[in-house]
Amino acid sequence: MAGILVLFYSALLTLVIAALALRAALSMLRHPRHREGLGERFGRVRPDLAAAVAAKRVVWVHAVSVGEVLAASRLVKELGEALGEGWEIVVSTVTQTGQELARQRFGADHVFYTPIDFGFSVRAYLNALKPEAIVLIESGVWPRMMHECEKRGIPVMVANARVGDKSFKRALKMRGLWSRVLRRATLWLAQSEEDARRLVEMGVPAERVSVSGNLKYDIRAPKESELTTRLRKLIGSRPVVVAGSTTAAVKPKGHNDEEDFIVGSWMRLQQEVSEALLIVAPRHPERFGVIENYMYQIKGVNASELMFYEREESHFSDVKVLCLNTIGDLASVYSLASVAFVGGSLVKRGGHNPLEPAQFGVPVVMGSSFENFRDIVGKMQAADAISIVEDKDVLAAEFARLLSDQEAARAMGERGRKVFEEQQGATKRTVDVIVGRVNR
């Protein structure tokens, strides 16, 4: 039965890829960068990666995109230190943005694109890397990879595991089928008791599930980036609103992307705090140009009010809106904020990590879509350390309140910092489990 299911899955995956092939080919013709990593995805192992792991014992960590790379950053560092000499940690990602950040954090020769979940491409990497364990970050489940690892006796551990509402409902509808896949993982290290309960209800044996905590409580921004240092000097004492990880609407209808809400709120804010600076950091780089045009054409922002960071800085005092068009700087730029808005939450995207600004004692505002971070937001709400808003009118009022009442903003930010500090420790617990497993 297991073999039949894997064959069915591979056939279905082939049909999906064939359906997407034409679209992908057109995209690659228009955007050469989209061709990056294509050979790796189909099983080509780069020579520098093979050389980096030669004669070494290997742990393969898989992180889908930027969020998972950030969650894995401290884990990879501490796991490498705990395992010591003779070991190498390699990291794979699916997205280009995740790849760029991973290369910055772990070194290009230790980072690669995740192979498409076909037998031949997965086996190519298993043969080359010979990993003694694979660690999947958060919720990535790869049936063919897990099948191939099970045949070779390679333990697969899912760290920082979480189960979103939609995933949970879908899994319960197909429990008989889906549980066969989930059971192939050796261990599930859940973020919370609720995630652990859901995993068991989905069919994972209870003895394979434990709660290790959320790795994202252990994320600390790296050393202040060069960009942040430059901006700090330019900004001076101006109040700053940083809107991070903003995203497009799920089903665009007119101008209802998150930036529409943000800029609308900012324009209202200008009437009360005219010297305020708005820094917008979109989640996806391909939207940088879209946002620039949107700011100019839709909201009527003057040319002097919009500045990408690498442009002329001599008139920075005239800049009202700054669009951050870099990868990996947002975590550090949050430290400049008087107030932070965390995106993916005013549109139904499930939200992003509010701890990134909270670690700096910055008061945090989010929309009501935070399903992906329910446990974190819940703890912050219990500590009165976050403000949840429903629409752009309330958002504008909340920005104005927190910028004008500095004492209340400072107190709220400190409560958020305290939540961040009190919940740490997941990385050590996860490292201990992984080391214990590979040293058996």
pTM of the shown model: 0.82
Confidence category of residue 244, pLDDT binned at 50, 70, 90:
very high
Q: What is the DSSP string of 117-157?
A: S-HHHHHHHHHHH-EEEEEEETT---HHHHHHHHHHT--EE
Residues 123 and 263 in one domain: no
pLDDT in tens, 22-62: 554 455 455 555 567 889 999 999 999 999 999 999 999 99
Examine the domain organization and report whether 78 and 147 are in the same domain: yes
The yes-or-no verdict on residue 16 having pLDDT over 60 is: no
- Catalytic residue (choose from 36, 40, 68, 421): 68
pLDDT of 296 over the 90 cut: no
pLDDT tens-digit series, residues 371-401: 989 999 999 999 999 999 988 779 999 999 9
Q: What is the pLDDT of residue 287?
A: 80
**Token couple for 16:** 């999906």
In the block, tokens 């859901």 appear at 198
SS3 (DSSP) at 367: coil
Q: Do residues 34 and 103 lie in contact, with contact meaning Cβ atoms separated by under 8 Å? A: no
Q: How many CB atoms lie within 10 A of CB 189?
A: 24
CA distance 309 to 231: 8
DSSP assignment letter at 63 = -
Give 5's pLDDT tier (boundaries 50, 70, 90). Answer: low
Check whether residue 234 and residue 177 sit in a common domain: no
User: Residue 322 pairs with which residues in a beta bridge?
Assistant: 279, 307
Strand partners, 57: 87
Same domain for 62 and 187 = yes
pLDDT at 14 over 70: no
Residues 188 and 237 in one domain: no
- Strands (E) across 21-86 are located at 57-62
pLDDT at 161 over 60: yes
CATH for 60: 3.40.50.11720
Look at 416 and 223; give whichever has higher pLDDT.
416
User: Taking every pair of C-alpha atoms in the chain, what is the biggest distance, in angstroms?
Assistant: 68
Least confident among 28-32, 110-114, 220-224, 235-239:
28-32
What ranges make up the beta strands (E) of 277-388? 277-282, 306-308, 321-323, 339-342, 364-366, 386-388
Residue type, 3: G
pLDDT of residue 32: 57
CATH number, domain of 331, equals 3.40.50.2000
Q: What is the DSSP letter of 326?
A: -
State which residues form the domain around 306. 226-422
Residue 24 domain flag: no
Structure token pair of residue 44: 């080509």
Amino acid at site 131:
P
Query: Residues 213-238: what's their mean pLDDT?
Result: 89
Question: How crowded is the C-beta side of 168, counted as CA atoms within 13 Å?
Answer: 15
> CA 212, 218, 219: angle at the middle one, nearest 5?
135
Please state the rounded mean pLDDT for residues 282-288: 81
Same domain, 312 and 280: yes
Rounded distance, CA 326 to CA 397, Å?
A: 29
Percentage of the chain beyond pLDDT 90 is: 58
Per residue in 245-274, pLDDT (tens digit) is 999 887 665 557 888 888 888 888 888 888
The DSSP H or E segment spanning 180 is helix 175-182
- What pLDDT was estimated at residue 308? 63
Residue with tokens 């009118």: 393
325-368 pLDDT, tens digit per residue, is 888 899 999 999 999 999 999 999 999 999 999 999 999 999 99
Instruction: Give the pLDDT score at 271.
Output: 82
Residue 221 is assigned to a structural domain of this protein:
no
pLDDT by residue (tens digit) across 51-97? 999 999 999 999 998 889 999 999 999 999 999 999 999 999 998 88
| Catalytic residue check, 68 | yes
Same domain, 401 and 260: yes
Q: Is residue 9 part of a domain?
A: no
H or E stretch at 199: helix 193-201
Residue with tokens 């679209």: 23
State mean pLDDT over 145-154. 94
Q: Are residues 236 and 205 in the same domain?
A: no
pLDDT over 50 (residue 164): yes
Task: At 360, list the tokens.
Answer: 């700096």
Handedness of CA 1, 116, 105, 222 (dihedral sign): negative
What is the pLDDT, as a whole number, of residue 401?
95
> 153: left (phi > 0), else alpha (psi -120 to 50), else beta?
left
**What mean pLDDT, rounded, does the chain reach?**
87
61 within domain boundaries = yes
- Clarify whether residues 300 and 338 are in a common domain: yes
Contacts of 25 (CB under 8 A, 6+ apart): none
Average pLDDT over residues 149-177: 90
Residue with tokens 């490498």: 80
Residue 164 lies in a domain: yes
Average pLDDT over residues 283-294: 76
* Residue 46 within any structural domain of the chain: yes
For residue 139, tell me if it sits in a domain: yes
State how far the Cα of 22 lies from the Cα of 302, in Å rounded to an integer.
40
User: Please, what is the end-to-end C-alpha distance for the chain in angstroms?
Assistant: 30
Domain identity same for 260 and 390: yes
pLDDT of residue 320 exceeding 70: yes
pLDDT band for position 439 (50/70/90)?
confident
Q: Are residues 198 and 321 in the same domain?
A: no
Q: Which residues of 158-171 are buried (b: 16+ CB within 10 A; e: fewer)?
A: bbbbbbbeeebeeb
> Of 277, 282, 291, nearest to 234 (Cα)?
277
Same structural domain, 269 and 335:
yes
Question: How confident is the model at residue 318, as a pLDDT?
Answer: 79
Question: Domain count of the chain?
Answer: 2
- Arithmetic mean of pLDDT, 187-195: 95
The radius of gyration of the chain from alpha carbons, rounded to an integer in Å, stands at 23
The proportion of the chain whose per-residue pLDDT surpasses 70, expressed as a percent, equals: 86
Mean pLDDT of 429-433: 96
What is the full DSSP assignment across 222-282?
A: -SPPHHHHHHHHHHTT--EEEEEEE---SS--SS-SHHHHHHHHHHHHHTT-TT-EEEEEE
Residue 383's SS3 state is: coil
pLDDT of residue 206: 96
18 found inside a domain: no
Is residue 435 scored above 90 in pLDDT? yes
What's the rounded Cα separation, in Å, for the pair 220 and 375? 19
Q: What integer pLDDT is reported at residue 37 of this predicted model?
A: 86
